[in-house]
């Protein structure tokens, strides 16, 4: 048997997948751990006890799920928003916002089932909210206690000359190709100016050749229909725009009310088809129809000034319908890029992006000038909805089938006439909202169980998406449903896993650090968000717990000064007290108690209070959790190669701690208190230095734990290893 010293000073690879325990050839194997539970790998090496959580409030309805979304005005004014079933509540960095003792709340259109599909982007005190089943909403903060959530009052919405889908059935005299066929609607939906327009349904196509009445037209069938009908309401389309002249009464100014007069019956306003709310594109301008006078005259508001009042000929003007509606759906995501609001991915237009006018977030009027709005559709061999829009130095549309880049040519901004859309990688994204870390976009792949980092690589002049979960593939298994990034004091991506465990990924690509770990609690984590709080970032969670036999949902936030969960703290002057209240949210639960820095016996909360053995001036009271790391089997250099599989034992270990107040090694409690006069009731001084443990037996790994609600950080483990050969 040969004896060697083996030192592990770096845990930056975090918890290694069990499937990789044989890959001792991997360079980062030496930096990994077999277990990293309730501990955070540090970028500079070592692992630190994960912070405890502070109780903020119970959600409005604990029987239903809630989601947290950050609202960040600046580093000193940041909020967390609790989205629940048809409501919104608000929190600052210190707790829930109240108005005369009542939580500030506004009504919301989003049901519990829709919360996970909410996307958002923020500009100063306004947040835009996206959901494929709802119009785009905006949340505006007027003060900490005054908020408003309402549909966005668009100046000009995106539109398209897509014709009408009449809300009535249609019957053809014959479904086969031929001339002289009649098309009969069950209710009025035709006008004389429809001659020349087309009727489509499925693969069927017919051109209207003559007008008989508002319910009957003559058509030539170019492509056969599946049947003569009746074709169901809104499942057939009257394409293009009316075929007649149109004259505007004025050309400007923007916002003015004018009349539009058609040379023949062209406009409709009935239960089957209405033109109110549509746009008329005429003489290089845009008019929104606001009122119906007759089939030849409507009133409208100028949205983009016209160049003249000359009558537009048939085919020289277009009737455009809004593309965001209940039938075609609404944008599922959006972002701010180059002073534009970019929206994308409705159900009817899954691969289309719409950009507002430069500096005018509410105006999507299109044109050819550089500042005009635009719409672009990603061309690919599959129809994969745009799930997310990420902004770095360029715009990154991310779809279920792959990741794209979008930029202007020659390093210029995107304009209606200058855009390049290119496929970059083909992994596909899940619905989980990505986060930006430095110059990379961290995203969950469409399978939900792998995490990749999308970033530009100069050596290949393209984007690349390496798998950052490959060494710890078991941790995201089961699905990652939400992510939040906290940059300070440690760069950590926090992720909600499908089973209620929080996965953490310490990341610093410049230092080649990617360290995964798990954070558990007495309950299930369901949502996570991060906001700045002074010089640090504050991570908030929704936790489902079972308290006194009932399920509840709490909003809590992690605090590096705490070592218990759902904790409360209290201070009192003078001689102190042995009775502490304010624990109604932990009724009936066994809690840890730290009084004046000293760990006290666990207590059971009764009537919202506990009594401790002696009076104290300051306490922390909360639910118990333990931190644990377990080293990997040492890979000792041997003359014949690897030591893997060799008979091995660790007969002595030295653990290097930093500001630690308690620990166990292989289940053995280490002494941290220095005995002396009058110190037994005083807090243990934080210890920095080495602790030696001997007689470890035939173990090939070392388990280091913190079983007390006290600080704990391991910097290195030095082992004396005996191995045959």
Residue 637 pLDDT level (bands cut at 50, 70, 90): low
Among candidate residues 702, 518, 716, the one with its CA nearest the CA of residue 625: 518
Among 721, 709, 665, 724, CA closest to 690: 665
Query: How many whole angstroms separate alpha carbon 514 and alpha carbon 503?
Result: 13
453 with 356, same domain?
Answer: yes
Q: Domain boundary residue among 277, 292, 322?
A: 322
Residue 22 lies in a domain: yes
Look up residue 334 and give its DSSP letter: E
- Do 661 and 574 belong together in one domain? no
Cα–Cα nearest to 161, from 226, 237, 110, 99: 237
Indicate if 295 and 403 belong to the same structural domain.
no
> Of 302, 322, 342, which residue is a domain's last?
322
How large is the average pLDDT for residues 50-64? 98
Q: Grade residue 556 by pLDDT with cuts at 50, 70 and 90.
A: very high
Mean pLDDT of 697-705: 86
Q: Which of 574, 605, 623 is the last residue of a domain?
A: 623
pLDDT at 397 over 60: yes
Same domain as 398, residue 253: no
Q: How high is the pLDDT of residue 645?
A: 59
**Percent of all residues in the chain with a pLDDT value above 90, rounded to a whole number:** 83
- Residue-wise pLDDT tens digits, 262-312: 999 999 999 999 999 999 999 999 999 999 999 999 999 999 999 999 999
Residue 69 lies in a domain: no
| Arithmetic mean of pLDDT, 21-41 | 84
Q: What is the DSSP letter of 277?
A: T
Spatial CA neighbour of 708 closest among 665, 659, 663, 656:
663
Residue 605: inside a domain, yes or no? yes
CA pair distance 310, 248, nearest whole angstrom? 7
Cα–Cα distance for residue pair 378/397, rounded to 1 Å = 9
pLDDT digits (tens, 9 = 90+) for 122-156: 999 999 999 999 999 999 999 999 999 999 999 99
Query: Are 525 and 653 found together in one domain?
Result: no
Domain presence at residue 603: yes
Residues 346-389 pLDDT 10s:
999 999 999 999 999 999 999 999 999 999 999 877 778 999 99
Q: Are residues 415 and 531 in the same domain?
A: yes
In a shared domain, residues 216 and 263: no
- 487 with 380, same domain: the answer is yes
Strands, E assignment, 373-523: 374-377, 386-391, 395-399, 403-407, 420-425, 435-437, 440-444, 451-457, 462-464, 480-486, 492-497, 502-508, 513-519
β-strand partners of 667: none
State pLDDT tens for residues 423-459.
Answer: 999 999 999 999 999 999 999 999 999 999 999 887 7
258 and 365 share a domain? no
pLDDT of 582 > 90? The answer is yes
Number of domains present in the structure of the chain: 5
Which residues constitute the domain of residue 316? 246-322
Q: Is the pLDDT of residue 5 over 90?
A: no
**Chain mean pLDDT for the chain:** 93
Structure tokens at 272: 């089957």
Residues 312 and 224 in one domain: no
Question: Are 514 and 423 contained in the same domain?
Answer: yes
Asked if the structure places residue 703 within a domain, the reply is yes
Same domain? For 601 and 636 the reply is no
pLDDT in tens, 676-700: 555 556 788 999 999 998 866 677 8
* 697 domain residue, yes or no: yes
Would you place residue 487 in the very low, low, confident or very high pLDDT band (cuts 50, 70, 90)? very high
pLDDT classification of 672: cutoffs 50, 70, 90: confident
Please give the pLDDT value at position 635: 73
DSSP three-state, residue 136: strand
Q: Taking residues 531-540, what's their average pLDDT?
A: 95
């Amino acid at each position: 048997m040969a004896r060697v010293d083996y030192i592990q000073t770096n845990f930056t690879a975090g918890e290694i997948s069990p499937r990789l325990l044989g890959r001792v050839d991997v360079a980062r194997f030496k930096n990994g751990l077999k277990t990293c539970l309730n501990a955070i790998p540090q970028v500079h090496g070592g692992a630190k006890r994960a912070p405890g959580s502070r109780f903020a409030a119970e959600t409005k309805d604990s029987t239903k799920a809630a989601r947290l979304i950050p609202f960040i005005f600046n580093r000193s004014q940041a909020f967390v928003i609790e989205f629940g079933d048809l409501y919104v509540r608000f929190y600052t960095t210190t707790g829930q916002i109240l108005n005369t003792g009542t939580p500030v709340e506004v009504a919301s259109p989003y049901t519990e089932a829709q919360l996970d599909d909410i996307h958002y982007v923020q500009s100063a005190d306004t947040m835009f909210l996206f959901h494929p089943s709802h119009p785009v909403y905006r949340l505006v903060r007027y003060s900490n206690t005054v908020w408003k959530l309402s549909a966005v009052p668009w100046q000009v919405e995106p539109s398209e000359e897509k014709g009408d889908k009449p809300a009535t059935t249609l019957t053809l005299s014959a479904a086969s190709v031929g001339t002289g066929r009649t098309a009969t609607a069950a209710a009025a939906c035709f006008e004389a100016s429809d001659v020349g327009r087309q009727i489509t349904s499925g693969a069927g196509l017919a051109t209207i050749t003559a007008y008989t009445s508002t319910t009957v037209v003559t058509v030539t069938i170019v492509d056969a229909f599946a049947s003569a009908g009746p074709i169901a309401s809104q499942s057939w389309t009257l394409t293009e725009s009316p075929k007649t002249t149109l004259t505007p009464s004025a050309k400007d100014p923007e916002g003015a009310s004018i009349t539009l007069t058609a040379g023949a019956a062209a406009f409709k306003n009935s239960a089957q088809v209405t033109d109110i709310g549509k746009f008329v594109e005429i003489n290089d301008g845009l008019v929104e129809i606001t009122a119906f006078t007759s089939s030849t005259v409507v009133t409208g508001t100028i949205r983009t000034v016209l160049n003249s009042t000359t009558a537009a000929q048939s085919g020289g003007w277009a009737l455009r319908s809004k593309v965001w509606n209940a039938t075609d759906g609404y944008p599922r995501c959006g972002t701010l890029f180059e002073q534009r609001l970019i929206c994308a991915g409705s159900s009817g237009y899954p691969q289309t992006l719409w950009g507002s006018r430069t500096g005018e977030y509410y105006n999507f009027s299109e044109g050819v000038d550089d500042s005009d709005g635009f719409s672009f559709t990603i061309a690919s061999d599959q129809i994969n909805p745009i799930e997310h829009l990420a902004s770095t130095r360029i715009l990154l549309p991310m779809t279920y089938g792959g990741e794209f880049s979008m930029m202007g040519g020659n390093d210029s901004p995107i304009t209606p006439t200058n855009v390049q859309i290119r496929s970059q990688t083909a992994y596909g994204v899940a619905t989980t909202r990505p986060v930006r870390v430095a110059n990379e976009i961290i995203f969950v792949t469409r399978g939900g169980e792998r995490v990749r980092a999308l970033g530009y690589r100069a050596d290949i002049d393209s984007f690349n998406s390496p798998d950052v979960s490959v060494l710890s593939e078991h941790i995201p298994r089961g699905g990652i449903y939400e992510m939040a990034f906290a940059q300070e004091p440690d760069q950590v991506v926090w992720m909600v896993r499908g089973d209620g465990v929080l996965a953490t990924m310490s990341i610093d690509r410049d230092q080649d650090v990617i360290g995964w770990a798990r954070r558990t609690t007495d309950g299930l984590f369901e949502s996570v968000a991060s906001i700045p709080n002074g010089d640090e970032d504050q991570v908030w969670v929704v936790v489902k717990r079972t308290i006194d036999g009932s399920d509840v949902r709490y909003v809590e936030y992690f605090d590096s000064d705490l070592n218990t969960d759902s904790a409360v703290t209290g201070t009192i002057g003078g001689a102190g007290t042995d009775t502490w209240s304010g624990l109604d949210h932990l009724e009936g639960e066994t809690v840890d108690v730290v009084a004046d820095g000293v760990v006290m016996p666990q207590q059971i909360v009764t009537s919202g209070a506990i009594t401790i053995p002696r009076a104290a001036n300051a306490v922390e009271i909360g639910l118990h959790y333990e931190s644990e790391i377990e080293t990997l089997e040492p890979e000792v250099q041997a003359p014949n190669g690897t030591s893997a599989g060799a008979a091995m034992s660790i007969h002595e270990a030295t653990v290097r701690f930093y500001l630690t107040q308690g620990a166990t090694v292989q289940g053995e409690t280490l002494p941290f208190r220095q005995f002396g006069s009058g110190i037994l009731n005083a807090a243990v001084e934080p210890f920095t230095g080495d602790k030696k443990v001997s007689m470890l037996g035939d173990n090939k790994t070392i388990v280091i734990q913190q079983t007390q609600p006290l600080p704990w950080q391991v910097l290195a483990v030095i082992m004396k290893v005996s191995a045959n050969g």
